[in-house]
Structure 1
């Protein structure tokens, strides 16, 4: 079954070619293809496979999105999320620990925050606004569930080119000032995310020297009466 017509669309491109829907078990191979094309530097142990994507649908189906290409009838992009409670004083956790070794066993049904475990646009589909569609769907989910916001460990994939010239803190600061462009972090900052902190040994990826950047997007529909409250 390769038909999304019966699925609820969460977003779509203006020309109607691309539509965001909740991922389906029959998409598992296509989701895996996107994952491997997007993250060629990840270790084999950290990559998600078909069995992972099918398991995610058993854990938290509402948090799994796919961008479907109606012309080529294939998955063009995807994202994976779970719900968690966040201790912002102790946010620095390895990626695999945070996502239960890609099983999403760490999902908390009553968690106050949506955690972005994964997002990727197949290289063949980049610069067509698909990540914008996915981030929009995720933020709509936050609003719909009444969550406090969306958090993630961003991969600063451009840092490897600057590691000899500056520490990660300076790199992230300069990306935040728009002095440097990062292929991942810059995109997320443009979508309203803010840097909370840096995570050493977040994952095994040479492109970002194993660093992650903990980012946060707050639900604008909730009040924040206390300045220090997150």
Structure 2
């Protein structure tokens, strides 16, 4: 990953931490190796076939550049978090889908430039930078993009990464319900619920990851400027 101050200065800032150390930027091709490093560090249990590579991140910029965000650490001079989105039309009666199918096997070939919903293909914060509010910055950037494009909202398949520790004593539906009630904390789903997302349903065999026992949770944030319409 190579860059210069001029490279960064030319990019619009889409959000920033209070102290200015972390800034949300549009992802760039020269960031691809760093984005892939963040991906691998964030998802050590994800199958190799499902990890996004540097080639994938570069390809995303050709498909839908507006939906690709990176968090840059101005002190360390590197990418420490990112999110990947595409546009889709959503059939809420048939929301259960395998992750790889929905994102075109990480190519975003399923992107519909006229899609009414922003779909969250990926979000991750490097373990070294967690606890700094970086996921909040990324969700704010995503929701801002929804408003700018006049979309109905943002949807995603959340990974309930804490479920693996509880799977021996409760079904996934009970786990998700208890996370919603704030009786249990999930490292992914709880963060999204605090960002005003709502659970729509559980997706079995969403992806291959032992930490969530291959489950996904379909979540929805509705654009208030569209009146919360489905």
Q: State the TM bucket, normalised to the shorter chain.
A: over 0.9
From 106, 109, 115, the equivalent of 1:105 is 109
1:65 to partner: Cα distance: 0.1
Equivalent of residue 166 in structure 2, options 159, 162, 165 = 162
Q: CA deviation at 1:86?
A: 0.1
Q: Does 1:35 align with 2:18?
A: no
Is 1:9 the equivalent of 2:1? no
Query: Which residue matches 1:20?
Result: 24
TM norm structure 1: 0.97
Consecutive unaligned residues in structure 2, runs of 5 or more: none
1:25-72 CA-to-partner distances (Å, cap 9, x unmatched) read 000000000000000000000000010000000000000000001111
Among 52, 60, 65, the residue aligned to 2:64? 60
The secondary structure found in structure 1 opposite 2:147 is helix
Which whole-Å deviations, capped at 9, do the CAs of 1:78-127 have from their partners, x for residues lacking one? Answer: 00000000000001000000000000000000000000000000000000
Aligned to 2:91: 87
1:141 correspondence with 2:145: yes
User: Is 1:153 aligned to residue 196 of structure 2?
Assistant: no
Structure with the higher fraction of residues in helix conformation: 2
Aligned length: 226
CA distance in 2, matches of 1:173, 1:142: 27
Alignment RMSD, CA only?
0.7
Q: How does the TM-score come out when normalised to structure 2?
A: 0.97
Deviations 1:155-175 (A, max 9, x none): 000001111111000000000
* 1:77 partnered with 2:67: no
* 4+ residue segments displaced more than 2 Å: none
Residue of structure 2 aligned with 1:45, choices 33, 49, 53? 49
Which consecutive unaligned segments of at least 5 residues does structure 1 have? none
